[in-house]
A and B are shown apart, each in its own frame.
Chain A
Amino acid sequence: VSVDLMCLAARLDEARRVAIFGGTHGNEMSGVMLVNLWVQNNTEVQRKGVEVQPFITNPKAVEKCTRYVDTDLNRAFTPENLSTLGGGDLPYEVRRAQEINRMFGPKGSPEAYDVIFDLHNTTSNMGCTLLLESSKDHFNLQMMNYIQKSIFPASCLVLLNEHPLLKYSTSRSVAKHPVGLEVGPQPQGVLRSNIFESMRDILKHALDFIELFNAGMEFPPCTVEVFRLSERIDYPRDDNGNIIAMVHPNLQDCDWEPLNPGDPMFQTFDGKTIHYQGSGTVYPTFINEAAYYEKQQAFATTRRESLVASAIRKA
């Protein structure tokens, strides 16, 4: 790959093999329903020069309409889990991760799928969010820029999780270019038409991008604004670990809006306000996500950053 931001486009391999994962969390319904639809009839997701495979990653969790059966599949793709022996004794999701790694990976190898889209919903008011795992993935950055331009004036923000301690081993990380799609707010176990159609629309543009790229189109350098994950903030708890306050009404539903030091953050059950004590302005996200109560997270903070993607073109 030759890279010269001034003159030449980075030459990248064609994205030949693409997967669309639904049901990584069995109660996040947009992805479950979209993938089920496309498994039955894949016309909508077919593009010239690309093999697109829709796939339900956690069928047992989908059947029970629960996030996971034994352990969170979207945290299970660690090197340790992927290489461990133990067969039937292993938690269901660890066995599933190994199987998915065989089918769509192996993670880190030349045989791995080029792109995996992992479809998620959140109870947080995040709108449409694209999840990026590396600030150096120019292919993904260009794709996200393309999606944003295509859906304008509707918006789609980019959340970058490259934090050494906070990043985690997702099902999509098996691919060379992992792309997470998170659309909310939607309760777990509920299918909202507008949320379903938004996710469907974003995927349509994402697949269009891949088709254009594979056909030889060059994408000029672009700037992509991202929100870089910074910190996880837990609920205030008592000595027994019980929650003693709720996300403050002023913060609830205000994902991506600036949170300044001194702003209300939590409200106790008897109505007292707890304020944000950080050193500067942050942009909170995943505010009051149902699945994160057990992960000790009330919300995450992010910082705004501009990333420059080099021009890209197929090799």
Chain B
Amino acid sequence: MEHTSFPPLSRVAICGGTHGNELSGVYIVKEMQKQKVEKIGSVSVISVLSNPPAIDVCRRYTETDLNRCFSDAKLSSTLTDSAAYEMRRAHELNAQLGPKGGEKAVDLIIDLHNTTSNMGVCLILSYLDWLTLHICKYIQTKMTSAPVTVMQLNDSNADGYSLDMLGKHGFAIEVGPQPHGVLRADIFNMMKRTLDFTTDWLQEFNDGHIFEGGEVETYSFLRSVDYPRDASGQITAAIHPQLQDKDFTLLQPGDPMFLSFSGETVKYEGEPVYPMFVNECAYYEKKIAFHLAEKITLKVPSISVKN
């Protein structure tokens, strides 16, 4: 593959509290703001609390999920008086960190999230980007204390709905398991370390280091599975104990998926796949018990900064 260059990454945004009850990111950003962190080496840093009213009440959102408000369609819609707070906030953030797709957008957005799922450290890319894939590859080699997985959502730029879409490059750092509204020191420390490795990479990149090409194993989103429900829409089963906490462990046909309240096991039928976001609290209302993914190994070219 041909070597690829990118312009320097001089403006980076670190966002926490995009979901107000995902506390690692909230406290990392609060600390950065307390310590008035504006520069890390050669990189100027904007630290943002994405959804302050949601943070204040320690809820995911106040009216609508902020992290679904950044598609092209939503960002270009005219805001009426009755527009949800998060829609207005998305437009504000687009003006501050974007505009999405524009020249003035920040070079990189790192959006900090937690999940109730047992996903460890998971780096989430809305779409394929050699630069962010290199960051992921670097973090994977540096983090020896815990496995780091890379997830790709396969969104087109236009459809990409998450906050990290606003920057020229962007990705989310998702760390779990942590209950929403809880701040665990071990999870906080893992996220902090992941963020520190990211800023280390940015230094090296801006300094001209050539990052060798290679392979990155990713989990590519296929589809979602909902809970079994009764006629009135009520859940009738829980994630089976043998699937619970088994994010990124291969699920084969015949494996248990759900255990109904009346004691029946519902088994998985289909091609072997990788479950992720297993039993994420926020996804009950989105009718998702877990996502399914296939493992795809991507080849990345060598990259360096364009001078």
Cβ–Cβ contact A123 & B182, under 8 A: yes
B184 interface residue (CB < 8 Å to A):
yes
B279 interface residue (CB < 8 Å to A):
yes
Cβ–Cβ contact A246 & B244, under 8 A: no
A59 interface residue (CB < 8 Å to B):
no
Number of residues of chain B lying within 8 A (CB) of chain A: 32
Q: Which residues of A contact B239 (CB under 8 A)?
A: 191-193
Which residues of B from 222 to 252 have beta carbons under 8 Å from A? 234-235, 238-241, 244
Q: Which residues of B contact A271 (CB under 8 A)?
A: 189
Cβ–Cβ contact A188 & B180, under 8 A: yes
Cβ–Cβ contact B238 & A249, under 8 A: no
> What separation, in Å, do the CA atoms of A190 and B280 have in the docked complex?
7
Q: Which residues of A contact B238 (CB under 8 A)?
A: 33, 191-193, 196
> What separation, in Å, do the CA atoms of A220 and B166 have in the docked complex?
70
A279 interface residue (CB < 8 Å to B):
no
Q: Which residues of A contact B52 (CB under 8 A)?
A: none
Which residues of B from 246 to 282 have beta carbons under 8 Å from A? 259, 261, 279, 281-282
Q: Which residues of A contact B188 (CB under 8 A)?
A: 246, 269
- Residue in A194, A248, A293 whose beta carbon sits within 8 Å of that of B185 in the complex: A248
Residue-wise interface mask of A (51-65) relative to B, using a CB-CB cutoff of 8 A (1 in contact, 0 not) = 000000000000001
Chain B nearest CB from A185 CB (Å) reads 8
B301 interface residue (CB < 8 Å to A):
no
Cβ–Cβ contact A36 & B244, under 8 A: no
B181 interface residue (CB < 8 Å to A):
yes
Chain B nearest CB from A58 CB (Å) reads 17
Cβ–Cβ contact A267 & B244, under 8 A: no
Cβ–Cβ contact B184 & A193, under 8 A: no
Q: Which residues of B contact A196 (CB under 8 A)?
A: 238, 261
> What separation, in Å, do the CA atoms of A123 and B235 have in the docked complex?
22
With A33-B235, A246-B188 as contacts: A194 and B180 at CB distance below 8 Å? no
Chain B nearest CB from A45 CB (Å) reads 13
A37 interface residue (CB < 8 Å to B):
yes
B197 interface residue (CB < 8 Å to A):
no
Chain B nearest CB from A61 CB (Å) reads 13
- Residue in A37, A65, A187, A252 whose beta carbon sits within 8 Å of that of B261 in the complex: A37
Cβ–Cβ contact B58 & A190, under 8 A: no
With A249-B185, A252-B186 as contacts: A192 and B284 at CB distance below 8 Å? no
User: What is the chain B residue whose CB lies nearest that of A123?
Assistant: B179
Cβ–Cβ contact B281 & A188, under 8 A: yes
With A188-B281, A189-B281 as contacts: A242 and B184 at CB distance below 8 Å? no
> What separation, in Å, do the CA atoms of A33 and B260 have in the docked complex?
12
Q: Which residues of B contact A185 (CB under 8 A)?
A: 179
User: What is the chain B residue whose CB lies nearest that of A290?
Assistant: B181
> What separation, in Å, do the CA atoms of A172 and B183 have in the docked complex?
30
Chain B nearest CB from A57 CB (Å) reads 18
Cβ–Cβ contact A187 & B179, under 8 A: yes
> What separation, in Å, do the CA atoms of A49 and B8 have in the docked complex?
78
Cβ–Cβ contact A246 & B183, under 8 A: yes
A247 interface residue (CB < 8 Å to B):
yes
Cβ–Cβ contact A194 & B244, under 8 A: yes
- Residue in B31, B116, B189, B244 whose beta carbon sits within 8 Å of that of A187 in the complex: B116
Which residues of A from 214 to 251 have beta carbons under 8 Å from B? 242-243, 246-249
> What separation, in Å, do the CA atoms of A295 and B239 have in the docked complex?
32
Cβ–Cβ contact B116 & A190, under 8 A: yes
- Residue in A186, A187, A193 whose beta carbon sits within 8 Å of that of B241 in the complex: A193
> What separation, in Å, do the CA atoms of A190 and B240 have in the docked complex?
13
Give the interface centre of B183, B244, B282 by most chain A CB atoms within 10 Å.
Answer: B183
Chain B nearest CB from A246 CB (Å) reads 4
B contacts, CB < 8 Å to A: 27, 30-31, 58-59, 116, 177-186, 188-189, 234-235, 238-241, 244, 259, 261, 279, 281-282, 284-285
For the A-B complex with A252-B186, A269-B27 known, give 20 more contacts whose Cβ atoms are closer than 8 Å.
A65-B285, A186-B179, A187-B281, A188-B179, A189-B282, A191-B238, A191-B239, A193-B240, A196-B261, A243-B27, A246-B185, A246-B188, A252-B185, A267-B185, A288-B183, A290-B180, A290-B181, A290-B182, A293-B58, A293-B181
Top-3 shortest CB links A-B: A187-B179, A290-B181, A193-B238
Q: List 16 A-B contacts (CB under 8 A).
A: A33-B235, A33-B261, A187-B116, A187-B178, A189-B116, A189-B284, A190-B179, A191-B235, A191-B279, A193-B238, A193-B239, A193-B244, A194-B244, A248-B185, A252-B186, A293-B58
